[in-house]
């Protein structure tokens, strides 16, 4: 069956066309739903628009949004909240994730089940995680208030969601609970890729358990730790659902991260241009972070 | 079945030329082996022949048909891959029949041909299995079977034995040769193993850095290597090389080897006077005990295989060649190996007399590496 | 010997305790769902309801449009995953096999796109969808979820195709397949487990979304997704935690089921593209 010579992509001289052809749908779709919106976003951030209507004539170019932003106390406070959140949540995600990974990596009966359970919170949608913790920290009948009183930590019920510090703590708790399984899964994968021979050699050399941890396990995990750290920090940085559903950014903006502020400005106050300016700032942070990660990523995990 | 004509095929990736003006005529039914070290371009040539890669220039015809820019499926060839590339989701029978099915062959005909091929290869009891349930040797047979059922113009084989263990490799080597004798299908076989090339080929094409070094039958390749590379590559262990200078003495044109003036077996000896040469001597052409040219050595190491012995001797400084940048094995440059058949047991580091027949010497131009005859 | 046994006991105790604490919130969700609302207001709380009300799930489905929400979530996820998979299979295969000019930059861009905050894209997408009159329609979140899914699935599939030897499609082409034929007849069947894992991963991403659904669908009650519906329950029925918990379990179940299936592929999915 002779094929049309020109269209016959099986011919050696035509085959590389197929590479482009296969990429075309992706390029088209990504162009339409990611790249174009990104341009719109940047464009909006330089206009004074209060509602995103693309069918209206473009407003004049202005840097007013950015000027207002950098002069706004709210923005810098949101940066501070975001920074606190990223630092605290990442730290505890690692503490918890690494220790559960080390624990579960031991050989014992039921290891498979333990692995499954330890990473289970990963499989709970964020909104559902919020429901669970909102009830656990309920101000009147929540289990946590009861527990804290029983343990003698407090003498009356705490209204978790009206105190800025308490609300911030609850947000952190939910994020840590939702985020540590990722670290745990990654660390387990990393641990399993360390050759058994390393440990045998160290045992022969007389290294104790903690020495093996410090001198073999942690250094071997370093590349994975680096990538995981960036991914976790980015996740906290970008997260919207947990904070928005749990506290809406309150009380007194104590939990308003940059993501929440962007959303509130855009869809609470309909200041689309101003919100886009914040979005562009977060975009720049994300791009730098992901570039850092790509540059440092190990060849394989 | 058909002959294959490859005319000045080149291949380069960017500025890197991996194949330089490759030309070869293959007769109908011939078994040609492309051999050379890794990166010599032999696999690239095979892929171009199959249509899996595009040639940068040059033409290829199979039979009388120009196939240079034809799809692999339109070339009427079959290929056996190093990793067999069996379709893991299909049974052995479906694997073997896949190519026929793609060509719209009648199912009854496919079944008949698959059964025939399976019988020839002794895998008819495996037809309903999946590849993952087969051993390495069985997979290799299925890969051969997949090629046979197509009854193609030519077989292309890309290191088909390199994933088998040593014993099975020797066995399968003989089987492929037998299969070729029976089917008489033009076969191009790529390998890095000179033993496979020597044992299977009608003609060997030996390659290095994308350039053909010599095209010849195994015997000619062994007896009359065209240059130092071929001489060193063919044979196991490879040929010994000794640096020397041509001199004119009373007994004619000679070179000083181990202190003796040895007459060189070359035609126009007179024109060579004063030239730097490399003298080649095959390990199996060195004998224990005195002979026409004898010399005494203290072996550095003696390896015994029972039926034969490898005697390793440090070359005297004056016979050592300059280190080349070609990544050549350092020990090849500084030592001489003698292969003694049915030897007497002997300890190392005890003085030993070895000898050779000057007629067995090979002479190469030290500068160009080309053989001088 | 004695010391080893002690160590073992300690290990088990440690694992059991850790698992208990970490999984307790999920357990508590189940307890809450199965308890009478009145029981929940008693202190000290009971850690297993005296009379578990197993009927709560049927009851909540009758009282609330949970099935509609789940159906919408499923429709959106299936739509987004289908679009993403078609596009990603082709692109992943191209990135894995062909040296296309600009292919590497595209790969890097896709990798960066994985890190984009939803709160950034949601603004321009809102404007675009309003122009197209898609706000309130499931199509809006199908397309928006595709922006989340495509970067993941493309890299996951590229990684999976990289593990399949090229010789397989070369053999198919020598056997007479066109390059696309080789993809369809050989590479895709061989990749079935990888395709399934990738698609399920995309499903999880779509199912877990809240930001896009909240923005595009809030005013279209008939198209609410499960996550959106749950949050509206939380807002209005501040006291009826047992109903919300029951609904939450129904929403979380599909993802939990997928998780059990996916566990061994998880690492591949989470790290897809993390390596270069």
B304-320, pLDDT tens digit by residue? 888 889 999 988 888 88
Touching chains, B (3+ CB pairs < 8 A): A, C
Q: Which residues of chain B neighbour C165 with C-beta distances below 8 Å?
A: 83, 85
The strand ranges marked E within B102-199 are 154-158, 186-191
| In a shared domain, residues B135 and B205 | yes
Mark yes or no for CB contact A11/B55 under 8 Å: no
Residue A109: what are its φ and ψ, rounded to 5°?
A: -70, 135
- The mean per-residue pLDDT over the stretch A224-237 comes to 88
- How confident is the model over B161-175, as pLDDT tens digits? 988 888 889 999 999
pLDDT along chain C (276 residues), means of 10: 76 85 91 83 77 85 90 95 95 90 84 84 91 90 93 89 91 91 92 89 91 91 90 72 89 88 65 45
**In-domain check, residue B232:** no
Whether residues B217 and B286 fall in one domain: no
Q: Are residues C219 and C232 in the same domain?
A: yes
Question: Do B172 and B251 fall into the same domain?
Answer: no
Q: Where among C34, C54, C74 does a domain terminate?
A: C54
User: Which of B226, B257, B288 corresponds to the end of one domain?
Assistant: B226
**Residue C163 located in a structural domain:** yes
- Chain C residue closest in CA terms to A44: C124
Q: Is residue C153 part of a domain?
A: yes
pLDDT at A2: 46
Q: Are B69 and A10 an interchain contact pair (Cβ–Cβ within 8 Å)? A: no
Q: Are residues C170 and C223 in the same domain?
A: yes
pLDDT tops 60 at residue A177: yes
**Per-residue pLDDT tens digits for B175-221:** 999 999 999 999 999 999 999 999 999 999 999 999 999 999 999 99
Assess whether C34 and C125 both reside in one domain. no
Q: Where a domain ends, among C17, C33, C54?
A: C54
Measured between CA atoms, how close is B65 to chain C, in angstroms?
A: 17
Whether B265 is in a domain gets the answer yes
Asked if the model's pLDDT at residue A243 lies above 90, the reply is: yes
By CA distance, what is A279's nearest residue in C?
C120
CATH number at residue B83: 3.40.50.300
**Rounded distance, CA B302 to CA B348, Å?**
6
pLDDT at site C273? 46
The answer to whether residues A41 and C120 touch, using CB atoms and an 8 Å cutoff, is yes
CA distance B215 to chain C (A): 27
Tokens 């070290």, located at residue: B37
Q: pTM of the full predicted structure?
A: 0.86
CB contact under 8 A, B73 and C173: yes
- Which residues of C fall within a CB distance of 8 Å from B87? 168, 171-172, 186, 190
Q: How confident is the model at residue A92 (pLDDT cuts 50, 70, 90)?
A: very high
pLDDT at position C143 is: 94
CB contact under 8 A, B72 and A10: yes
**Cα B348 to chain center, whole Å?**
33
Does residue B168 sit within a domain? Answer: yes
Q: What is the pLDDT of residue C1?
A: 56
* C42 and C78 fall within a common domain: no
CATH number of the domain that C86 lies in?
A: 1.10.3720.10
**Does C73 map to a domain?**
yes
Q: Does residue B245 lie in a domain region?
A: yes
Domain carrying residue C21: 2-54
Contact C174 B72 (CB under 8 A): yes
**Of the candidates B226, B253, B288, which is a domain's last residue?**
B226
Question: Phi-psi region for residue C133, left (φ > 0), alpha (ψ -120 to 50) or beta?
Answer: left
Structure confidence at residue A296 (pLDDT): 61
User: Domain end: B156, B191, B226, which one?
Assistant: B226
Listed range (A278-292, B142-156, C224-238) with the worst mean pLDDT: C224-238
Q: Among A53-62, B99-108, C106-115, where is mean pLDDT lowest?
A: A53-62
Higher pLDDT, C44 or A53: C44
pLDDT higher for A150 or C140? C140
Q: Could you tell me which residue, C37 or A23, shows the higher pLDDT? A: A23
Q: What is the mean pLDDT of residues A107-122?
A: 84
Give the mean model confidence (pLDDT) for residues A152-169.
Answer: 86
By the CB < 8 Å criterion, does A18 face chain B? Answer: no
Mean pLDDT of chain B: 89
Taking the alpha carbons of B59, B60, B65, B67 in that order, is the dihedral positive or negative?
A: negative
Domains in chain B, number? 2
Torsion, Cα C44 C45 C46 C48, to 10 degrees, reads -170
Which of C54, C74, C96 is the last residue in one of the domains? Answer: C54
- Residue C276 within any structural domain of the chain: no
Percent of the residues in chain B that have a pLDDT greater than 70, as a whole number: 98
Same domain, yes or no: C29 and C64 = no
**Interface chains of chain C (3 or more CB pairs under 8 Å):** A, B
Residues B20 and B146 in one domain: yes
Which domains, ranges and CATH numbers included, belong to chain A? 60-296 (1.10.3720.10)
Q: Are residues B220 and B85 in the same domain?
A: yes
pLDDT for position B339: 92
Looking at the DSSP assignment, which residues form a beta bridge with residue B19? B11
Tokens in use for C61? Answer: 């489905």
Residues B173 and B41 in one domain: yes
> What's B309's domain CATH number?
2.40.50.140
Contact B353, B313 (CB under 8 A): no
The verdict on a CB contact (< 8 Å) between B88 and C190 is yes
- pLDDT value, residue B107: 93
* A contacts of C8 (beta carbons < 8 Å): 108
Residues B64 and B168 in one domain: yes
If we measure between CA atoms, which residue out of A25, B72, A38, B90 comes closest to residue C113? A38
pLDDT digits (tens, 9 = 90+) for B316-355: 888 888 776 555 667 778 889 999 988 888 777 788 899 9
Q: Which pLDDT does position C274 carry in this prediction? A: 44
Q: Average pLDDT for residues B267-273, to the nearest whole number?
A: 75
Q: Classify strands B31-35 and B308-314 as parallel, antiparallel or unpaired.
A: unpaired
List chains touching A (3+ CB pairs under 8 A).
Answer: B, C
Is residue B184 assigned to a domain? yes
Does B217 share its domain with B257? no
ipTM value: 0.87
Which domain covers residue B327, as residue numbers?
237-372
pLDDT, residue C6, reads 83
Could you tell me if C145 and C190 lie in one domain?
A: yes
Tokens of residue B10, six digits? 């080149």
Same domain, C50 and C65: no
What's the total number of domains in chain C?
2
Nearest by Cα to B41 from B228, B211, B213: B211
């Amino acid at each position: 069956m002779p094929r049309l010579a020109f269209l016959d992509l099986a011919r050696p001289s035509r085959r590389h066309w197929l590479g482009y052809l296969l990429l075309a749908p992706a390029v088209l779709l990504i162009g339409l739903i990611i790249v174009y919106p990104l341009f719109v976003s940047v464009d909006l951030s330089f206009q004074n628009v209060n509602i995103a209507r693309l069918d209206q004539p473009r407003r004049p170019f202005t840097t007013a949004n950015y000027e207002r932003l950098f002069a706004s106390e709210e923005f810098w406070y949101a940066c501070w909240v975001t920074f606190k959140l990223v630092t605290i949540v990442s730290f505890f995600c690692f503490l918890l994730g690494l220790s559960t990974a080390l624990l579960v990596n031991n050989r014992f009966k039921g290891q498979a089940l333990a692995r499954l359970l330890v990473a289970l919170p990963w499989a709970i949608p964020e909104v559902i995680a919020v429901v669970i913790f909102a009830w656990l920290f309920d101000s009147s009948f929540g289990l946590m208030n009861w527990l804290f009183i029983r343990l003698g930590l407090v003498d009356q019920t705490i209204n978790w969601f009206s105190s800025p510090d308490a609300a911030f703590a609850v947000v952190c708790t939910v994020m840590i609970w939702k985020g540590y399984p990722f670290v745990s899964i990654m660390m387990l994968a990393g641990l399993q890729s360390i050759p058994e021979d390393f440990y045998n050699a160290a045992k022969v050399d007389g290294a104790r358990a903690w020495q093996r941890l410090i001198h073999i396990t942690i250094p071997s995990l370093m590349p994975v730790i680096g990538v995981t750290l960036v991914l976790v920090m980015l996740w906290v940085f970008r997260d919207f659902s947990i904070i928005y559903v749990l506290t809406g950014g309150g009380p007194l903006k104590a939990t308003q991260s940059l993501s929440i502020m962007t959303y509130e400005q855009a869809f609470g106050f309909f200041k689309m241009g101003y919100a886009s300016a914040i979005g562009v700032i977060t975009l720049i942070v994300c791009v730098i972070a992901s570039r850092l990660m790509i540059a440092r990523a190990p060849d394989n995990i | 079945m058909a002959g294959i004509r490859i005319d000045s095929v080149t291949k380069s990736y960017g500025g890197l030329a991996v194949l330089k003006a490759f030309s070869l005529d293959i007769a109908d039914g011939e078994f040609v082996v492309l051999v050379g070290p890794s990166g010599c371009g032999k696999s690239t040539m095979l892929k171009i022949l199959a249509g899996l890669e595009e040639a940068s220039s040059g033409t290829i015809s199979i039979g009388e048909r120009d196939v240079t820019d034809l799809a692999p499926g339109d070339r009427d060839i079959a290929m056996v891959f190093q990793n067999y590339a069996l379709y893991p989701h299909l049974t052995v029978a479906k694997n073997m029949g896949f190519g026929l099915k793609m060509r719209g062959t009648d199912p009854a005909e496919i079944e008949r041909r698959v059964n025939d091929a399976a019988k020839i290869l002794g895998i008819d009891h495996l037809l309903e299995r999946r590849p993952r349930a087969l051993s390495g040797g069985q997979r290799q047979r299925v890969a051969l079977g997949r090629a046979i059922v197509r009854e193609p113009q030519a077989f292309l084989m890309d290191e088909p034995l390199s994933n088998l263990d040593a014993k099975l490799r020797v066995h399968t080597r003989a089987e492929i040769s037998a299969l070729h004798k029976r089917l008489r299908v033009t076969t191009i076989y790529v390998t890095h193993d000179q033993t496979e090339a020597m044992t299977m080929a009608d003609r060997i094409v030996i390659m290095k850095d994308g350039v053909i070094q010599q095209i010849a039958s195994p015997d000619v390749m062994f007896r009359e290597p065209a240059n130092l590379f071929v001489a060193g590559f063919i044979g196991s262990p490879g040929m010994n090389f000794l640096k020397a200078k041509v001199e004119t003495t009373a007994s004619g044109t000679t070179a000083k080897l181990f202190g003796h003036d040895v007459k060189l077996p070359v035609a126009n000896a007179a024109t060579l006077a004063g030239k730097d040469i490399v003298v080649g001597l095959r390990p199996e052409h060195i004998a224990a005990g005195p002979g026409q040219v004898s010399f005494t050595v203290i072996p550095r190491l003696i390896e015994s295989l029972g039926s034969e012995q490898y005697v390793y001797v440090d070359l005297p400084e004056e016979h050592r060649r300059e280190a080349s940048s070609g990544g050549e094995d350092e020990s090849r440059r500084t030592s001489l190996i003698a292969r003694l058949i049915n030897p007497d047991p002997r300890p190392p580091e005890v003085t030993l007399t070895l000898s050779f027949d000057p007629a067995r010497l090979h002479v190469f131009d030290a500068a160009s590496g080309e053989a001088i005859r | 010997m004695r010391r080893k046994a002690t160590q073992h006991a300690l290990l088990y105790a440690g694992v059991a305790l850790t698992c208990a604490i970490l999984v307790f919130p999920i357990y508590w969700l189940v307890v809450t769902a199965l308890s009478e609302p009145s029981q929940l207001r008693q202190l000290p709380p009971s850690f297993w309801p005296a009379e578990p009300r197993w009927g709560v799930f049927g009851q909540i489905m009758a009282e609330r449009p949970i099935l509609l929400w789940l159906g919408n979530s499923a429709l959106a996820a299936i739509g987004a995953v289908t679009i993403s998979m078609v596009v990603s299979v082709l692109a992943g295969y191209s990135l894995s096999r062909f040296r296309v000019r600009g292919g590497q930059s595209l790969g890097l861009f896709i990798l960066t796109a994985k890190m984009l905050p939803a709160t950034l894209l949601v603004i321009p997408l809102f404007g675009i969808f309003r122009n197209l009159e898609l706000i309130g329609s499931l199509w809006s979140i199908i397309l928006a979820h595709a922006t989340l899914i495509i970067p993941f699935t493309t890299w996951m599939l590229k990684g999976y195709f990289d593990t399949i030897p090229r010789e397989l499609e070369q053999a198919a082409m020598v056997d007479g397949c066109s390059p696309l034929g080789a993809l369809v007849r050989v590479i895709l069947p061989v990749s079935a487990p990888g395709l399934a894992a990738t698609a399920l991963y995309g499903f999880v991403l779509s199912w877990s979304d809240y930001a896009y659904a909240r923005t595009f669908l809030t005013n279209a009650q008939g198209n609410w997704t499960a996550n959106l519906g749950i949050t509206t329950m939380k807002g209005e029925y501040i006291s009826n935690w047992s109903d919300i918990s029951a609904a939450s379990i129904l929403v979380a179940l599909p993802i939990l089921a997928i998780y059990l299936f996916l566990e061994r592929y998880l690492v591949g999915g989470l790290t897809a593209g993390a390596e270069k």
